[in-house]
Amino acid sequence: MTATHRGRFAPSPTGRLHLGNAWAAALGWLWARSQAGEFLLRVEDLDTARSRTGLTEALLADQAWLGLEFDAPPVFQSRRLDLYRAAFERLRATGRVYPCFCTRSEIARAVSAPHGPADEGPRYPGTCLALSSEQVEERARTRPPAWRFRPREGLTDVHDLLHGRIVQDVAREVGDFVVLRNDGVPSYQLAVVVDDAEMGITHVLRGDDLLRSTARQIQLCEALGLPVPVYAHVPLLLGPDGKRLAKRAGTPGLAELRERGIAPERLVGLLAAWAGLGDGRPVDLQALVPRFVLERLPREPIAVDPSRVNEALFGPG
Ligand code: GLU
């Protein structure tokens, strides 16, 4: 029987894994295992492939230390450019994409408020939509274009198992967004929908900072005729500065724990406490599987106190 739940962890290897990565990975894994499902790893290395090869091995070692097993060899985005290109060509055939020659500063100058979601910069004013084919040809001589997707008008419904129904007017709030950058690399939005569909991912659990991207991804799924996965966006761990927990906050990365011989059960105990699955005492990840209930996860950001984390991880057991 093939599993009816297949989840994934999709880190961008921009640095060593930290507690926030362990949180998302462990929750995704627990959800999949509690549903007798499968769990896959995708390394989102489109930007980092050349310079960061060693990071991937470290990432795999960190995962194994935590006790996560995956049901297939890892998938590397940097090795799948042909797949994204083919999806882009399918989008192009729908007439929903157009070349854009604008630089960031041109867009910033052309735009007055309101601003779009931070990850896309200001809402694109549509400058290049009006170019004639002669103009496109002429500009392409000096600068390769990025390609933008024209979202359909109206509200896009996002159904999230933790946040309920959320609607976004992508055309108004985000505008035409980039699917292929001018260096030929697909944007995160395109790569993620192509990969999730190709890997047969049915359930996506990830940080709720990506909730604002989900409507764009659903629109791309619709345009490409791909299935839309079930979504659950989990709260982020926040450091004392109220920002997403980072190394600066004074909490250790997984590599440090591993190298110092700390038992992974200590970290899992902490993660379990944040997820409402335990009292903070060390626990084996496997032991949490029968206790995991997605709907009981917190919805609000989790404020992490670094001194308590360090005490729990390094203090007398
Ligand atoms: N690579 C993204 C990140 O590390 C996650 C992408 C996703 O889960 O859709 O934030």
CATH number of the domain encompassing residue 112: 3.90.800.10
Domain stop point among 189, 216, 244 = 189
CA distance 115 to 96: 23
Give me the pLDDT at residue 72, please: 96
Domain carrying residue 178: 96-189
Give me the pLDDT at residue 263, please: 96
For residues 299 and 316, which has the higher predicted lDDT (pLDDT)? 299
Q: How far is the CA of 174 from the centre of ligand 1 (A)?
A: 19
Strand 237-238 with 302-303, pairing: parallel
Give me the pLDDT at residue 49, please: 57
Which residue out of 206, 216, 221, 234 has the highest number of ligand 1 atoms within 8 Å of its CB and is therefore the one to mutate?
206
Per-residue pLDDT averaged across 243-268, rounded? 89
Question: How do residues 175-191 score in pLDDT, each as one tens digit?
Answer: 999 999 999 999 999 99
Instruction: State yes or no: pLDDT of 223 exceeds 80.
Output: yes
Q: Kindly indicate the confidence band of residue 3, based on its pLDDT and cuts at 50, 70 and 90.
A: confident
Lowest mean pLDDT among 21-35, 81-95, 115-129: 115-129
Per-residue pLDDT averaged across 293-310, rounded? 94
CATH code for the domain in which residue 270 is found: 3.40.50.620
CA distance 16 to 58: 7
CA distance 51 to 53: 6
Mark whether 247 is an active-site residue: yes
Domain stop point among 158, 189, 220 = 189
In the set 247, 280, 282, 306, the catalytic residue is 247
Per the CB < 8 A criterion, the answer to whether 36 and 47 are in contact is no
Mean per-residue pLDDT of the chain:
91
With a pLDDT cut of 70, the percent of the chain lying above it is: 92
Q: Which atom of ligand 1 is nearest to the CA of 44?
A: 1
Separation in Å, CA 171 to CA 32, 147, 218: 34, 16, 13
Asked, for residue 201, whether it belongs to a domain, the answer is: no
CA angle (210, 213, 215) in 5-degree steps? 130
Per the CB < 8 A criterion, the answer to whether 237 and 274 are in contact is yes
Question: How do residues 267-288 score in pLDDT, each as one tens digit?
Answer: 999 999 999 999 999 999 999 9
Question: How do residues 115-156 score in pLDDT, each as one tens digit?
Answer: 456 577 778 889 999 999 999 999 999 999 999 999 999 999
Asked, for residue 210, whether it belongs to a domain, the answer is: no
Tell me if 10 CB under 6 Å of ligand 1. yes
Amino acid letter, 123: R
Asked, for residue 46, whether it belongs to a domain, the answer is: yes
Same domain, 45 and 109: no
Give me the pLDDT at residue 106, please: 73
Work out how many domains the chain is built from and give that number. Answer: 2
CA 180 to chain centre: 17
What 3-state DSSP class applies to 292? Answer: coil
Q: Kindly indicate the confidence band of residue 103, based on its pLDDT and cuts at 50, 70 and 90.
A: confident
Report residue 91 as tokens: 């989008």
Domain stop point among 189, 209, 243 = 189
Asked, for residue 204, whether it belongs to a domain, the answer is: no
**Residues whose CB is less than 8 angstroms from the CB of residue 261 and which lie 6 or more positions away in sequence, other chains included:** none
Same domain, 73 and 113: no
